[in-house]
Structure 1
Amino acid sequence: MIAIDKARTQIENAKVLLRNNANPEDGLYQYRKYVKRAGLIAYKGLLLSLVKLLKHNKKDDLIVIEQGLSKLDKGIFADFITAQQVLSRSMGIYGTRSQQLAELGISEAEKIITWVEKSVTKI
């Protein structure tokens, strides 16, 4: 379960970065560059776990990941789309200042990683 452990570490690193460097204040982050970095770190962790589940070698081949995930579980697929939009786009590209939005993306990623961990142990 090395991939799952790495994925969880990436998520934790993203949380620490947001908490310690993005300077959350009144529900808003003050430093977008750290939000961007945290979003991409968390997204990378999420992809690591999905690559493990789907036994796919290219973590950047999103079409294969999305197709495989949609066949396994439609609800988790929907959660993945949400996490993908929040972590890679809202946080990673735009550096959202919304603490609530960032927390949503990270919680969705954690939910998916937990689901992947349970699914991998069943296989």
Structure 2
Amino acid sequence: MNTVQEAKRYLDNAREILREKAHKEEGYYLDTKYVKMAGHTAYVGVLVALDGLLGKKGKGRKGVDWYNQQLSGLDKRPLRSFVGAYDTLHLSMSYDGNPLASVAAAGLAEAETIIKWVESRTVEA
């Protein structure tokens, strides 16, 4: 399985977690445990897609600053999407468990934008 397909699978899993386990009511998810899980899953999907395009880092672990630096040298549009996905999926959802369904929808949309961008770059290559 290539990295774009794998990233899409992560995103599908995040949507499934929200739909089936987080229990949305009146625009809010009732179980923040699953909001956190879905945010983390979607963010990992973004990283899987980007890793397939950007490759390996020299030494140490990749961090958000490394991804920002790599994307800033390629294209500003996905950089903005990555910053939004990091803030929404990783911080607001994964750490804080933000229950607002519109926040989750925005984060998943940014993740999808990044994955599609990576897919378009890998098709061109």
Q: TM-score, normalised by structure 2?
A: 0.93
1:51–1:59 contact (8 Å) kept in structure 2: no
- TM-score of the superposition, structure 1-length normalised? 0.94
Other-structure match for 2:96:
94
- Residues 54-104 of structure 1, C-alpha deviation per residue, up to 9 Å, x if partnerless? 112577433222111111111110111001100001000010110000000
Q: Describe how 1:104-123 pairs up with structure 2 within 5 A.
A: 104-123=106-125
Shift of 1:47: 0.2
2:74 alignment counterpart = 72
Runs of at least 5 residues in structure 2 that lack an aligned partner in the other structure: none
Partners of 2:28 and 2:45 in 1: CA distance: 24
User: 1:13 and 1:59, CA in 2 relative to 1: closer, same or farther beyond 3 A?
Assistant: farther
CA RMSD of the aligned region, Å?
A: 1.4
Query: What residue ranges of structure 1 are gaps of 5+ in the alignment?
Result: none
Query: CA deviation digits over 1:22-68, x for unaligned, max 9?
Result: 00010000000000000000000000000111112577433222111
Report the identity percentage.
Answer: 37
Deviates more, 1:49-58 or 1:108-117: 49-58
